Structure 1
């Protein structure tokens, strides 16, 4: 919660805030998030405007995730931009918007937690990668392709030909007889 009383309501007044908070709960998506207990750095500028308080700045934090291709855990850091208007009570903006459409100044305080949760959730990738060139897992055996080497492959036989391949590999002596008969004729 940020107290806006020292900012005042005169349009154009401004205050800068740098603060480090601790994430009280996990913030993010299924495969990538800011973990509970992680420091979240906020560098913000609060500006009084005619309809409320405009908050701009950056949010930085360490994130942990699981690669969507190779399933390996990884660490990263995010640096997000934040721009949000908090409407004053009884302002035109507050009166003409639904309750969940805009954030509001309540008792001269701003609650940044829902804003940070929204910004982080919108900016994190739905399918995070440990590196942009991650090759993922082998579809046949599940080994990480990054450690498997360039020669990693599997002989894949079309299931429609499996019966014929089984017959050919099971009777190597018979093929010699066929070859011999062909030579004799």
Structure 2
């Protein structure tokens, strides 16, 4: 058995479009490698800082991800290696195991699919794109239903109404 407590740099960006671990970010490994009859069993936790973007307002969010890792790596010529497909189980190659793919897979499952800066985030204004959390109270835009748009040209403007009032006086 061997225990590993180490911090390594992320080799590439890991994650989904709105959330992930940036390339070069510190990834903390707290792992235990045990020799079992069919291979090496790797268990422990992995944690790293994340960079996320709110799915509603696109504000940057700093966070952390931590997850448990349990992975079996088959010894060469073992029954496990002989009875499994190449992509089903990892393999011990030259007395080493490659943890990159299991970590990438686990990060993808641990990160939120639609991260939010707050649970009640209002998002962006659909007309002007301003972040509604930063907009003035009552922010809105006057919209005219396209079915009635031609009638607005027939409506008197405020200037026309004031001229009519002056003509009566």
Task: Compute the TM-score of the two structures, normalised by the length of structure 1.
Answer: 0.78
Q: Which residue of 2 aligns with 1:33?
A: 20
- Please say which of residues 74-83 and 164-173 is displaced more in the overlay: 164-173
Equivalent residue for 1:69, pick from 56, 60, 68: 56
- How has the CA–CA distance of structure 1 residues 154 and 25 changed in structure 2, closer, same or farther, with 3 Å as cutoff? same
CA drift of 1:70 comes to 1.0
**Structure 2 runs not aligned, ≥5 long:** 165-169
Structure 1 stretches of 4+ with a deviation exceeding 3 A read: 169-173
RMSD: 2.3
CA drift of 1:170 comes to 4.9
Task: Compute the TM-score of the two structures, normalised by the length of structure 2.
Answer: 0.84
- How has the CA–CA distance of structure 1 residues 80 and 169 changed in structure 2, closer, same or farther, with 3 Å as cutoff? farther
Q: 2:53 & 2:153 partners in 1: Cα distance?
A: 41
Q: 1:126 & 1:87 partners in 2: Cα distance?
A: 32
**Structure 1 runs not aligned, ≥5 long:** 1-6, 8-14, 177-185
Q: 2:121 & 2:114 partners in 1: Cα distance?
A: 12
SS of residue in 1 equivalent to 2:155: helix
Structure 1, residues 22-76: CA drift from partner, whole Å, max 9, x if none?
A: 1122222222221122110011122222222221111111111222211122211
Equivalent residue for 2:87, pick from 90, 100, 124: 100
CA drift of 1:138 comes to 0.7
Q: Which residue of 2 aligns with 1:84?
A: 71
Structure 1, residues 53-103: CA drift from partner, whole Å, max 9, x if none?
A: 221111111111222211122211111121111112222221121111211
Q: 1:156 & 1:121 partners in 2: Cα distance?
A: 41
